[in-house]
Chain A
């Protein structure tokens, strides 16, 4: 008797809604409605049809300024750098812009694939720069800066002219000039749905064969001898007990048998710093600072990445705490190479702590 009206109600709702919104009321008290302000704060994605793209614009000229201040230290002045990430720009031609297919992608001898060679949709560039760049301080660019940097990259690739101003009004036209806009296919069996048409038939058809399946196997490829120890001593990367041991790759092939008469000793964790007890606490604080200020994105403790390794700075400026602290705060260019180091925003005390650590030899 009480059920009847409910059923009628359900049917009525079902009929009244053209789109099949399914709203569950099974879990009362769980979750609340999002406010428009909250949605605006988080709903930042931009689709290929430019749904989600905020109105605005940015010039190539402005983009160059932003690029050199915030992007070039990782990606290179022309987006060509291979130091930290794969190159962004290069490998496309004016002909590609006409055809929408990047010809170099068919060449097996072409040395690499840049972002602009691959990306088919300009929305992808805008969305990603907006959500995740600059790498060490994502989501800090203004809408104008995102338009400007996107335009600057497209200018480097010859997609838009030097005096171009990219905007929400002309971005659809720019899409029609993307060099690899016709370079994608969804005709494969690796999408877990039917939304793209595609195919459900896998592209390889191996069969179960149990006897005399292939001619006698010949080894066609294996690791060259000089790379034997490139991944470290493999005997330290296997358990001490078991049906096998790890190969002692510090020794040449074929003479591993008598690596040691004593049982192999477990190696310390590769990252574990084993240092003098006295300086340990300080080093820990410095390591935390290096991590917090993302110094290690560009400087290795004992190797060059984009900037010099801390060990090299230590060698060059032993004891010069104030000089190093000043450089951290002000940034610089030209001492270690062409790629500039931006001025770092951290307290004097923190800069000094890092500088002291470097000046004293930058020990882990």
Chain B
């Protein structure tokens, strides 16, 4: 049938063009890293300017330069020529032999065929690995829970694996009796388990001005969602006899080298939402995520979820710590910085089809993605396939939980023509995720943090999906 012909055609095109490149064996060669760093140093400005300049011409080209659809890429489900699919007709080893025994792996691992799913660094973003970030592979995840080993990482001074029997938690400041707790004691108290998303305030930061990275892993991957288990901080504050009336602010402090500190309002703590957590997805926190103790501050940017939590202090004034006075402040067009901007406002993103992916052929696809809000539950998500002109309401999959990721899906039949896919979420407060233009009209393009704009993915006729921004 036609598919085989198409494949041959593609092959001959390749052969004649002579542009086939050998796939690299490593993720990024040292030379590539150097190039990226050099470009980074030269300035993102140039980079972006070139992108702008190229946009008008290359956009048209990108859409118009049509290659053959990717039939050849599909594993294919062809009409068998030999009377049947060899994967059916010839029984494989696993159907005719003895498999492996129990507890071959005391702690089971993902299939070896899943090794493409890795948290990854964005080349050129940082110069060291200890003050850096790795992004979760959202493009390949299902449902709302992030596997703990793929949870995004943000370290300011490296991560540690701390002996929990030596870890202590202290409460002081405006309390009747400053207290010290061991892990044994914290884990003795009544616990709660809740699903919450955690998103870095700088998630999607690189795209504030313009498109800068190719995939949803790098645009939105500083986002994860877990079931956290711990003790409401208010329980511990009450044990210390905290002054809940005059102690309007709480300082949370980490026990590692960076000794991260952030100010949390008491009003959020008295709601019972803020947890001193030790559990993550049924087991203890991972070391990269703060083992053995971290603060969980639902709806608030990740930097407030202090890892290796050693102390909270009750006070009557905010603390203006480094990460609320130098970083994690939002520059506005008038030159003022918004300080203590903490809430992650309502946001969503389509994870498939998304940048860097290739649709195999025309026909049915399940558009799927994630929506979340730092102010409560997701109320609805709409999806557009024409760049925001017309919209259809997506299905919200259960569970729909407050300040947790919510999975949405929408049926879509791709006609093979260029499409720009967007998602737009609304939370229970009625707030609707903004378009880029709306966000930039208020905050300009230098804000870095809290970019919750509607994301656009261009599906080209050749099936390849690109990160784009629309005007």
Cβ A21 vs Cβ B51 within 8 A: no
A132 touches B325 (CB 8 A): no
A243 at the interface (CB under 8 A from B): yes
Q: Does B191 touch A at the CB level, under 8 Å? A: no
Interface residue? A119 (CB, 8 A): yes
A118-B337, A267-B27 known; 14 new pairs, CB 8 Å cut-off, are: A24-B235, A24-B239, A27-B239, A111-B43, A183-B337, A188-B338, A192-B299, A204-B439, A221-B468, A237-B118, A244-B359, A247-B357, A252-B19, A305-B127
Task: Produce 1/0 per residue, B331-369, CB < 8 A to A.
Answer: 111111111111101000000110011111000011000
Chain A residues, CB < 8 A from B388: 213-214, 217
Q: Are A45 and B319 in contact (CB under 8 A)?
A: yes
> In the complex, which residue of chain A has the Cβ closest to the Cβ of B266?
A193
Chain A binder among B78-86, B248-256, B394-402:
B248-256
Within 8 A of A (CB), among B36-93: 36-37, 41, 43, 45, 47, 50-52, 54-55, 58-59, 62-63, 65-73, 75
- Assuming A191-B342, A195-B318, A217-B386, is B70 touching A257 (CB within 8 A)? yes
Residue with the highest number of chain A CB atoms closer than 10 Å, among B424, B450, B471: B471
- For this complex, 8 residue pairs linking A to B, each with C-beta atoms less than 8 Å apart, are A31-B236, A127-B322, A187-B338, A207-B432, A213-B388, A222-B51, A250-B22, A305-B128
User: How many contacts between A and B, using CB within 8 angstroms?
Assistant: 477
Do B23 and A248 touch across chains, with their CB atoms under 8 A apart?
A: yes
Residue from the set B59, B336, B435 with the largest chain A CB neighbour count within 10 Å:
B336
Q: Closest 10 interchain pairs by CB?
A: A217-B387, A23-B241, A193-B265, A234-B356, A106-B335, A24-B238, A204-B434, A270-B27, A220-B471, A105-B335
Known: A33-B178, A237-B139, A257-B67. A223 touches B211 (CB 8 A): yes
Q: How far is the CA of A233 from the CA of B120 in the complex (A)?
A: 12
By a CB distance below 8 angstroms, the chain A residues around B237 are 22
Known contacts being A221-B468, A223-B51, A230-B36, is A38 close to B170, with CB within 8 Å?
yes
Interface residue? B284 (CB, 8 A): no
Which residues of the partner chain B approach A22 to less than 8 Å between Cβ atoms?
Answer: 237-238, 241-242, 244
Check: A218 CB closer than 8 A to any chain B CB. Answer: yes
- The answer on a CB contact under 8 Å between B341 and A190 is yes
- Interface residue tally for chain B (C-beta within 8 Å): 192
Q: Find chain B residues with CB under 8 A from A267 CB.
A: 27, 115-116
Tell whether B417 is near chain A: CB-to-CB under 8 Å: no
Picked from B65, B137, B335, B352, the residue with its CB within 8 Å of the CB of A244 is: B352
Cβ contact within 8 Å between A119 and B235: no
Question: Are A21 and B458 neighbours in the complex by a CB distance under 8 Å?
Answer: no
CB-nearest residue of chain B to A49 = B317
CB-based nearest A residue for B13: A255
Chain A interface category by residue count: 35 or more
Choose from A232, A238, A245 the contact partner of B70 (Cβ within 8 Å): A245
Contact with A along B123-135 (1 / 0, CB 8 A): 1100111110000
Name which residue of chain A comes closest to B122, CB basis. A231
Docked-complex contact B257 and A132, CB < 8 angstroms: yes
> Is A56 interfacial (CB-CB < 8 Å)?
no
B98 at the interface (CB under 8 A from A): no
- Chain A residue numbers with a CB within 8 Å of B389 are 212-217
Contact residue among A34, A44, A237, A243 (Cβ-Cβ distance under 8 Å from B365)? A243
Q: How far is the CA of A103 from the CA of B353 in the complex (A)?
A: 44
User: Closest CB-CB distance, B366 to chain A, in whole Å?
Assistant: 7
**Which B residue's beta carbon lies closest to that of A241?**
B75
Q: How far is the CA of A225 from the CA of B7 in the complex (A)?
A: 25
Q: Which of B422-470 contact A (CB under 8 A)?
A: 424, 426, 431-435, 438-439, 442-446, 450, 456, 458, 462, 464-470
Report the minimal beta-carbon distance from B470 to chain A, rounded to whole angstroms: 4
Q: A138-B259, A185-B339 are in contact. Are A231 and B238 (CB under 8 A)?
A: no
Instruction: Tell me which residues from 22 to 43 in chain A have a Cβ below 8 Å from any Cβ of chain B.
Output: 22-24, 26-27, 30-34, 38-39, 42-43
In the complex, whether A362 has a CB less than 8 A from a CB of chain B is no
Q: How far is the CA of A207 from the CA of B391 in the complex (A)?
A: 12
In this assembly, does A219 line the interface, its C-beta being within 8 Å of a C-beta of chain B? yes
Choose among A34, A102, A186, A223 the residue that contacts B467 (Cβ–Cβ < 8 A): A223
Contact yes or no, A206 B420, CB < 8 A: no
Is there contact, CB below 8 Å, between A124 and B181?
Answer: no
Q: Which residues of A contact B67 (CB under 8 A)?
A: 254-257
Would B115 and A269 count as touching, CB distance under 8 A? Answer: yes
Cβ-neighbour of B315 out of A23, A47, A245, A268 (below 8 A):
A47
Please indicate the chain A residues that have their CB under 8 angstroms from the CB of B268 in the complex.
192-193
Asked if B471 contacts A231 (CB within 8 A), the reply is: no
Residue in contact with B10 in the complex, picked from A193, A202, A257, CB distance below 8 Å: A257
Q: How far apart are the CA atoms of A343 and B172 in the complex, in Å? A: 39
A305–B310 CA distance with the chains assembled, in angstroms:
32
A99 vs B260: C-alpha distance in the bound complex, in angstroms? Answer: 31
Give the docked Cα–Cα distance between A281 and B130 (Å): 24
Among A213, A222, A230, A297, point to the contact of B58 (Cβ < 8 A).
A222
Quick one: closest A residue to B68, CB to CB? Answer: A257
Distance (Å) between the CB of A176 and the closest chain B CB? 16
Chain B residues lying within 8 Å of A121, measured Cβ to Cβ, are: 320, 325
Contact indicator B243/A206 (Cβ below 8 Å): no
Q: Does B163 contact A (CB under 8 A)?
A: no
Q: Tell yes or no: B105 within 8 A of A by CB.
A: no
**Contact of A236 with B by CB under 8 A:** yes
B115 to chain A, nearest CB (A): 4
- CB of A219 within 8 A of CB of B10, answer no
Q: A242-267 toward B: CB 8 Å interface, digit per residue (1/0)?
A: 11111111111111111111010011
- Closest partner residue, chain A, to B211 (CB atom): A221
A204 touches B338 (CB 8 A): no
Residues 370-411 of B at the A interface (beta carbon under 8 Å): 374, 380, 382, 386-393
User: Given B114, B127, B326, which contacts A266 in the complex, CB threshold below 8 Å?
Assistant: B114
Task: Indicate if the CB atoms of A101 and B335 lie closer than 8 Å.
Answer: yes
Distance of A215 Cα from B300 Cα, bound (Å): 35
Chain A residues whose C-beta falls within 8 Å of the C-beta of B357 in the assembled complex: 234, 238, 244-247
Contact A258–B432 (Cβ < 8 Å): no
Q: Which of A30, A115, A204, A294 contacts B442 (CB 8 A)?
A: A204
A316 at the B interface (CB under 8 A): no
Contact with A along B260-282 (1 / 0, CB 8 A): 01000111100000000000000
CA of A220 to CA of B117, assembled, Å: 31
Contact A120 to B214, CB < 8 A, known contacts A22-B244, A217-B386, A224-B50 = no
